[in-house]
Structure 1
């Protein structure tokens, strides 16, 4: 009944019956039906208030809204709330039986590293003997009674009804802990309001999503809502904040929460009192991965992983910090580090069966910071040359396009500009903006609008001992052009190009 939900909502005024049957929540009037609670969410392009009539015609028994229409139907409950989207999430949580309360919830935010950190953390949590899941960019994954369950994601952080349905399914499958990615959009919009968090983690902050947030100050403020709103309002009583103190922007939020665990990639940071978990000495990095002794408070251990690069050291430490903050032992964390395979499309190597040809690595890096990190990780492997293939997505922050090119030129021996997901924009126009960032550089570059041709050209240009980085799309198995998604997988294209290499 609606009465079971109303007490959790910040209702400003109401109209209609005293109580009605409600068993489903949605923001899509097309999905409304008998017993539905419809949320009229004001959007950038469409205003959900326009669709209240449609939802009611389809059987919705209650509506969340932020302003009243001229007339209101007698048999439908109307609830005026400050933010229908936040209230939708709160209602969805109640309708699903508040599944987060039955889970150990790790909420991870940051510009880069969320997906890999969540994957590493899941490995650690399962090394502790329980079932765990992840919910984020690469999908919804958990260990059920019959083994691995995998579902496709529509967003890094879905809307409340979908999000809480996934958590409910995990609880029903006896999952004990989950690592969820909270994007800046989700935090700002309150998509999964009501999430009862045990551990909140913040990896870093760099340039991204400025098409939405407009500037870095707003972007930072959106990320900081993880502490000021989410932990403060819905966090569990002993919630812990884990942060990467190597990032200066993240570090200045160290006093935003009372129970804090600091991680750092800088050797000796624990001894100096700058961190609670950090390496004891510089790490050994190779094609086999990372190995480094670490210190957790007064305890010492060994971080070994097959993951590549300095940024994956940071991801491992952040994931380890989350696990330690939740009460797991350093021995369990060490096991999880050893066992993790990371996330798909994150510095993922593609090679021929005979091992011939260049090293090809696929990565999701689609921001200047992430691209710099990926190239830096590959440089530590000592390649003869580093060839970088990348593009920039359409209908997204235009300001980062020349910045991405400048970063690529700075760290590569050869840059190949190509399409990412142009979406509704002209691919060649995007490349013109990207190419502007190469003015004044001496780095050689090529331009192939067709991504398949660009990958083939990169592998064809490469020799034994070279590394080819295919950046931007990572795990994606499609390319969006003119509003349509077409099958496309960087790993498949790289494998085909390597088979033709000689």
Structure 2
């Protein structure tokens, strides 16, 4: 497709070359992923690209370049001996969404599109949407999120650098792959940074889901207000209809942004979809679902109020898309466990182990209070905090673990470029203030082993923070490590 066709109707200025240049190898932010015939989009500040990477991109065969309106003028030597077309646009990220979608034929228009945003629950709701549609009606579903991108059980290979919400060129490529495989519905996790950076613009989202807003990602956004505003971008022109948690103050306000297009769900307030009469044990939760004056008995194979809220969001969104309500409710109880989300294992000695992604104060507290509701023995919590992330939550997470656990085992999460000992030092005051028993064991495998050795029959060990991640991030290295695999190995 010609560059001029990709940019038609979008403000731009041709600086040199022929805008009729054919783009034959897609669009790209990362210079090292450019191939002959690519359009290189020089996004300022992008880790793998940016204006300083134009030279390497041209060397790899880029035939055209988009530069940002705010970028400094580049030396003519960059273009020497080339006939590359260079176009300046006001905002390369916004433009990237337009040209990538057009290059792949606007694939979002061909499928039902569901986007999930919020601090907690994005991955769980994504898995639930996929499961109930597949179980109830045999629908082919594509998933884009924390665990990668896949169609059913088939993972779509992508570079490790690809994010939970991929950059626009990768995102539109994935949608194109899914459309070509005749996927009927796509469900994606829309992160705050993904929304802020326009990665899902031009996705033609049918239903946007808002789960909740609690403290997280302040390292990226600075304030909770900025974090909230990034999440709310989904409901300011990016989706046609919304499904929102009316129990959350931010969710309750989304109706102002989308008058007449909001469907609500809740446990504690009146809503279009509501759950009452919750009863739970270690294996799941039963409840009554209320909708349009009728009551439906329902169950999910996951314990916890937060899991019921996720189930309500799932049913509401799928029902909005036109799927049968009774079939959706019936499928809830048959859902497989979500990897790393309250995933349960029982040791030969009768200890229950729960592996959960809880890595924020709110998610850790909800997980522990849920466990306390059905625990018959002690609760032992293994947890840490990620490096190069919001440090203000560390002491608070220590306080939560110490308050709700009989024994806390403080360990390393993904330290990244920080010293694990320093991170633990910042968590320890919160733990110590509770007076609860705790140990510090930096090696995560040793910490898990310590917890299992001290747990008895009917005790519960919660391993929080990493969920289904198959690695530990230490510096720039991804070291293979799975919490659940480690538990199975040590317990058997």
Fold match by TM threshold 0.5: yes
Q: Once the 2 structures are TM-superposed, how far is the Cα of residue 56 of structure 1 from its aligned partner?
A: 2.3
State whether residues 356 and 462 of structure 2, in contact with CA within 8 Å, keep that contact through their aligned partners in structure 1. yes
Name the structure 1 match of 2:255.
254
Distance 1:392 1:219 in 2: 20
User: Which one of the candidate residues 150, 153, 157 is aligned to 2:155?
Assistant: 150
Q: Is the 8 A contact 2:399 2:433 kept in 1?
A: no
2:322 corresponding residue in structure 1: 327
Q: Find the counterpart in structure 2 of residue 91 from structure 1.
A: 99
Partner of 1:290 in structure 2? Answer: 285
1:87, 1:193 within 8 Å by CA — same for their partners in 2?
no
Displacement of 1:47 in angstroms is 6.3
Residue 55 (structure 1) aligns with: 57
Alignment of 1:345 onto 2:346: no
Q: Determine which of 427, 447, 456 is the counterpart of 1:434.
A: 427
1:389 matched residue in structure 2: 382
Three-state SS of the structure 2 residue aligned to 1:399 is: helix
Kindly report the root-mean-square deviation, in angstroms, between the aligned alpha carbons of the 2 structures. Answer: 1.8
Q: Which residue of 1 aligns with 2:142?
A: 133
CA drift of 1:468 comes to 0.4
Q: Mark the CA change 1:305 to 1:481 in structure 2 (over 3 Å): closer, same or farther.
A: same
TM-aligned CA deviation for residue 328 of structure 1? 1.7
Tell me the TM-score normalized by structure 1.
Answer: 0.91
The match for 1:115 is 123
Residue 444 of structure 1, aligned match among 437, 448, 452? 437
How far residue 164 of structure 1 moved from its aligned partner, in angstroms, is: 1.6
Aligned partner of 2:312 in structure 1 is 317
CA distance in 1, matches of 2:322, 2:47: 45
Distance in 2 of aligned mates of 1:159 and 1:325 = 28
How many residues are treated as equivalent by the alignment? 479
Where structure 2 has 5 or more consecutive residues not aligned to the other structure, the ranges are none
Deviates more, 1:423-432 or 1:120-129: 120-129
Match of 2:458 in 1: 465
Can you list the C-alpha shifts for 1:93-143, whole angstroms capped at 9, x where unaligned? 111121111010000001000000010011222223321121100122223
1:320-359 per-residue CA deviation (whole Å, 9 max, x = no partner) reads 111122122211211331221242100111223xx43311
Residue deviations 1:33-59 (CA, integer Å, cap 9, x gap): 332110111117676111122222332
Instruction: Give the match's secondary structure for 1:321.
Output: helix
Q: Which residue of 2 aligns with 1:234?
A: none
Q: CA deviation at 1:13?
A: 5.4
Is the partner of 1:80 in helix, strand or coil? strand
Aligned partners of 1:4 and 1:428: how far apart in 2?
A: 54
Q: CA deviation at 1:228?
A: 1.7
> Deviation digits for residues 433-491 of structure 1, max 9, x if unmatched?
11122242111111100111110111111111111000001101111123212111111
Question: d(CA) in 2 for partners of 1:8 and 1:175?
Answer: 30
Alpha carbons of structure 1 residues 498 and 413: separation in structure 2 relative to 1, 3 Å: same
- Measured in 2, the distance between the counterparts of 1:57 and 1:142 equals 35
In the superposition, relative to structure 1, how do residues 41 and 421 fare at CA in structure 2: closer, same or farther (>3 Å)? same
Q: CA deviation at 1:8?
A: 5.5
Q: Secondary structure at the match of 2:238?
A: helix
**1:230 alignment partner in structure 2:** 238
Contact preservation (8 Å) 1:388, 1:414: yes
CA shift digits 1:176-229 (9 cap, x unpaired): 001100100101111232111000011001111111101101000100111124
Indicate conservation of the 8 Å contact 1:358/1:465, yes or no.
Answer: yes
Cα deviation digits, residues 68-105 of structure 1 (max 9, x gap): 42437472222212221222222111111211110100
Distance 1:484 1:167 in 2: 30
In the alignment, which residue of structure 1 is the partner of 2:172? 164
For the residue of structure 2 that corresponds to 1:389, the secondary structure is strand
Provide the C-alpha distance between the structure 2 equivalents of 1:319 and 1:252, rounded to a whole number of angstroms.
20
TM-score normalised by the chain length of structure 2? 0.93
Contact 1:307 1:341 in 2 (8 A): no
In structure 1, the residue corresponding to 2:257 is in which secondary structure?
A: coil
Q: Structure 1: which 5+ residue stretches go unaligned?
A: 232-238
